[in-house]
Amino acid sequence: MFVVFNLLLASTAFAQRIKDVATIQGVRDNQLVGYGLVVGLPGTGEQSPFTEQSFRTMLANFGIALDPNQKPKISNVAAVAVHAKLPPFVKPGQRIDVTVSSVGEAESLVGGTLLQTMLKGLDGNVYAVAQGSLVVSGFGAEGGDGSRVIVNTPTVGRIANGALVERAVPSGFMQNDFLTLNLNYPDFSTAKALADTINLRLGADPNKGMAIATPIDAASIRVSAPRDVGQRVGFLATLENFEFTPAKASARVVINSRTGTIVIGQDVRLLPAAITHGGLTVTISENQTVSQPSALAEGDTVVTTQSIIDVNLDDTRMFKFDPGITLDQLVRAVNEVGAAPGDLMAILEALREAGALQGELVII
């Protein structure tokens, strides 16, 4: 069954703050990743070769040498990948959250503790060190006959404030005499509206060569900013709270074929078109009967097949649309002829192929 969301909003657009629709170029998160060991597991660890190698290396770092011919039993240890997101402007000594995921055959990380793990960035430098007790939301249980019950994911855990930042990421916040605002959803009209709003609110007239904000392309707006750190922070604090009206989104229909969800944008229109809905259903069934001759007749008892053909012609109706008809009216027409909501997807695809759909059709 298809659920249709028709986003036909009022013609009045809503004002939004600049901070809600754009970000500052160079001010972004950075991804960190590391490899470590989780210990203290209640027998739910693993005995894989790389876990054993990591375990031996860890003991060697503490000055403990194992006999190469001796294979340690480490069912309470699991090899894990640790990843985190380093927000902008985070300084050494502050803490960030980390996520810990098993990379081997460990059954569960419940009750485990992550040992000191270095988290590196894309440049190979260590930016944080993670360590601490895991919080795991999932669990698993297994019976003696091999039956298992798993709730959520017991092989992934999280440590709140589990990593200590050791190195700050250089920021491009103070490198130039201007800042670049990048729209979350590029649009030429929105970029111009944002630049016009900044110039108007700050008293700059582009016609007199005094523009403070200049749109570069559909995604970026360059804004002149003070060089002084304190003044630049205050300038941005004022700038990001300016409200303006973004342009309307482009006409688009999005269909999720897996969940049956159809989202219709506001400005989607139809060209003149005629649509017919209905179908012919032919059902063929066969019944086997026994043909037996009478007592005085000569003959043999045989099994015969009787075929039954049923032809069902559904109620087929045609409806016509004039130019500029909205998809809201199409949805109503489909409901009036008794079509199932799922038929709307096929109708939309047919309209696109016929060139009668004014808007982008996206199927995910």
Same domain, 126 and 182: no
Same domain, 217 and 295: no
What b/e readout covers 29-40, taking b as 16+ CB neighbours within 10 angstroms?
eeebebebbbbb
pLDDT in tens, 300-344: 676 665 555 454 545 555 555 556 566 666 666 666 655 555 666
Q: Annotate 136-193 with DSSP letters as a single string.
A: ---EEEE-TTS-EEEES-TTEEEEEEEEEE-SPPP-STTSSSEEEEEESS--HHHHHH
Q: Is residue 13 part of a domain?
A: no
Domain hosting residue 293, numbered range: 253-363
Q: Is residue 334 within 8 Å of 327, Cβ to Cβ?
A: no
Which amino acid does the sequence have at 312?
A: N
Domain boundary among 165, 187, 220: 165
Q: What is the pLDDT of residue 154?
A: 86
Structurally, the chain folds into a number of domains equal to: 3
CA-CA distance, 180 to 130, in Å (whole number)? Answer: 34
pLDDT tens readout for residues 90-104: 999 999 999 999 988
Contact between 165 and 93 under an 8 Å Cβ cutoff? The reply is yes
Which H helix or E strand runs over 39?
strand 30-39
Could you say which of 144, 165, 186 is where a domain stops?
Answer: 165
Q: What SS3 state is found at 78?
A: strand
The 10s digit of each residue's pLDDT in 214-239 is: 999 999 999 988 888 888 888 888 99
User: Would you say the pTM of this structure is higher than 0.75?
Assistant: no
